[in-house]
Structure 1
Amino acid sequence: MSIFALSAGWAVAAAVEQARSVAGRAKMGDVTGVDFAPILLVLGDEELLATRAVTEAVAKARSVDPDVDVREYQAGALTVGEIAEMLSPSLFGGRRVLVLRSAQDARKDLVAALLGYARNPDPDVQLVALHLGGGKGKAFADGLRAAGATVVPAAKVKGHRERVAFVREEIRRGGGRCTDDAADALIAAVGADLRELAAACSQLIADTDGRIGAETVARYYRGRVEVSGFTVADATMIGDVPAALEALRWALHVGVDPVPIADALADGVRTVARVAAAGRGDPYQLASSLGMPPWKVKNAQQRSRGWTPEGLVEAMRAAAECNAAVKGGADDRGYALEKAVFSVAAARRGSAR
């Protein structure tokens, strides 16, 4: 099965064969409740939501066929001949998913060919089109929608009310429940960045029983702080011990709970290890196979410089010991975090020898 994520416009698929197509709208960036749709249109310019939609589409395809063929292309660089070859029936059968990014940049002849295909799509091929929305390439997106493509909204989350809705939905997706005042408190503590909010929601669910109230958030994030566990982790992974310690001590001083800091440090080490093991490559190409957003792959590629496999093993051991100490009720959790910063940085220095 090949997954072709066709940036912004390809979600125009199966209107002609209504039995195959799944018309309608999913929740923000969420395709978990969507059956295999011949054409999936991811519409919007919020990278986190768009990347999540692609990742979930690929995961759903692989759950049906582990050998699914997943490929990604930039719409502006494709020709009609190339797309015809991609969409032609395979001699060996099997499903395919084709991810087409920046569908709004597709040329007119390519748009015409794709809209023609959308009238009678191959049931074994899923086209995932990522379109930024807006005026550019609007006819393409409209055409796919009219053809019956499943539309996954991925527009920028704007305003406080939308962010509250985003936080509540994130908690729900993780199997928890969240009140409006808890969402307000989390936004005040973590900030408006969706990536930080999504990570904070995941940590809260993992470290609690899933029922998130304002008092839960207050326990983990006291006050509005300018640093987070990610700040500590980022500085640690590049070996900047002074910056990491400064961020850590400030976070603890203003009342940030040690648990999300330990989680962020472990996630930082784990992410660099996974990306480093995948080798060099285009972040967008690696994103699907790694199940990460491209921005996270790119950042990890930059932080992986200077690390060796042996050093990363040592860093993972240090992060695991820190997590065990912090979550196991160590007498001095701040000391456990500082020790982890020094240990991870030492592992990186050992890599440089």
Structure 2
Amino acid sequence: MAAKKPVRAAAKIDQVPWSGIRPAPVVLVTGPETFLAERASSVLRDLLLGEDPALEVHDLEADQYAPGLLATLASPSLFGEPRLVRVTNVEKCTDAFITETISYLGAPADDVTLVLRHGGGVRGKKLLDTIRSGVGGGVEVQCDELKRETDRIDFVTAEFRAARRKIAPSAVRTLVAAFADDLAELAAACRQLLADEAAEITDKVVDKYYGGRVETNAFKVADIALAGRSAPAIVELRHALSTGEAPVPIVAAFASKIRTMAKVSAFRG
């Protein structure tokens, strides 16, 4: 019988989405979505700067960590400025980083916010388990990929809601379709629309900026072509090829559609 995979114990700290990030002695940022992790880190920095403009920001790479560095940065400062220490590549961290960070969690500095970015994998599991057990008074920010269309629609809607701007629901769907595979580009498109357009964002506005970016697929090309709409089919074909669709799947889609039509025709005959 195959051995069962060990079940991870439930975390004893708050686990929030990227948009729910908040100050804490230790902030663990996990998940594969790099863009959301960077956005969460920026939001936290802005929150801390709002509390004290004298905030000092230090960036470290856990895979290049030098022993004693965390203790140096977390030691009391001369003028008592609050500090934000951001650590990336924790999934590749050195043994010294794991040991010293676990030791630091036993007594975090009062004026230091330690942000640990872990992109996934088993490296550093002991450190993550320690944080999740509640040692250090941390919070975990989960940055999962937005795989579903509804998730990306919610993301765009939240972007415009935060800016107190209106966007038509159909325009949201069009925008999401134009950047289905790149969340960073989708966010950049939202920022451009917010900066360049003063009125409500409609389908017409989105089409003006990104109409040529709306992604397509092989079966959509085949459907339009077999409906006898040759000009739109050529446009969709160009879009499909420019967004990475390979020629072979397009040919296969045509073959599949034609076989289906032949079968239906035989039944009708």
Inter-CA distance 77–221: structure 2 relative to 1 (3 Å threshold): closer
Question: What is the CA-CA distance between 1:178 and the residue it aligns to?
Answer: 4.7
Alignment gaps of 5+ in structure 2: 1-10, 216-234, 240-269
Do the aligned residues in 2 keep the contact of 1:29 with 1:154 (CA within 8 Å)? no
How far off is 1:179 after superposition? 5.7
> What's the CA shift string for 1:106-142, capped at 9, x where partnerless?
2344323322322331120010111102333233223
Do the aligned partners of residues 208 and 24 (structure 1) sit closer, same or farther apart at CA in structure 2, a change above 3 Å counting?
Answer: farther
- Corresponding letter in the other structure for 2:173: D
Find 1:43's aligned residue among 30, 38, 52. 30
CA distances 1:306-349 after superposition (whole Å, capped 9, x unpaired):
xxxxxxxxxxxxxxxxxxxxxxxxxxxxxxxxxxxxxxxxxxxx
- Whichever residue aligns with residue 102 of structure 1, its letter is N
| Identity %, equivalent residues | 33
Q: Is 2:104 aligned against 1:104?
A: no
- TM-score between the two structures when normalised by the length of structure 1: 0.50
Give the Cα separation in 2 of the matches to 1:152 and 1:172. 21
Residue from 176, 192, 195 that aligns with 1:203: 192
What TM-score results when the alignment is normalised by the length of structure 2?
0.64
Looking at structure 1, the residues matched to 122 and 162 of structure 2 have their Cα atoms a distance apart, in angstroms, of 32
Q: Assess if the C-alpha contact under 8 Å between 1:29 and 1:153 holds in 2.
A: no
Does residue 166 of the first structure (1) align with residue 155 of the second (2)?
Answer: yes
Shift of 1:173: 2.6
Matched, 1:192 2:181: yes
Deviations 1:178-235 (A, max 9, x none): 5653322112234431122111112233344575454553454435458xxxxxxxxx
Residue 183 of structure 2 aligns with an amino acid whose one-letter code is L
- Of 121, 144, 152, 1:155 maps to 144
- Calculate the aligned-residue CA RMSD, in Å: 3.1
In structure 1, what is the equivalent of residue 41 of structure 2?
A: 54
For the residues of structure 1 that align with 2:15 and 2:200, how far apart are their CA atoms? 28
Residue 111 of structure 1 aligns to a residue whose secondary structure is: helix
Aligned residues: 205
Change beyond 3 A, Cα 1:171–1:134: farther
Unaligned runs of 5+ in 1: 1-11, 16-22, 227-249, 255-353
Give the corresponding residue for 1:294. none
Cα pair distance change 1:203/1:30, threshold 3 Å: farther
Report the Cα distance in structure 2 between the residues aligned to 1:63 and 1:88, rounded to whole angstroms: 23
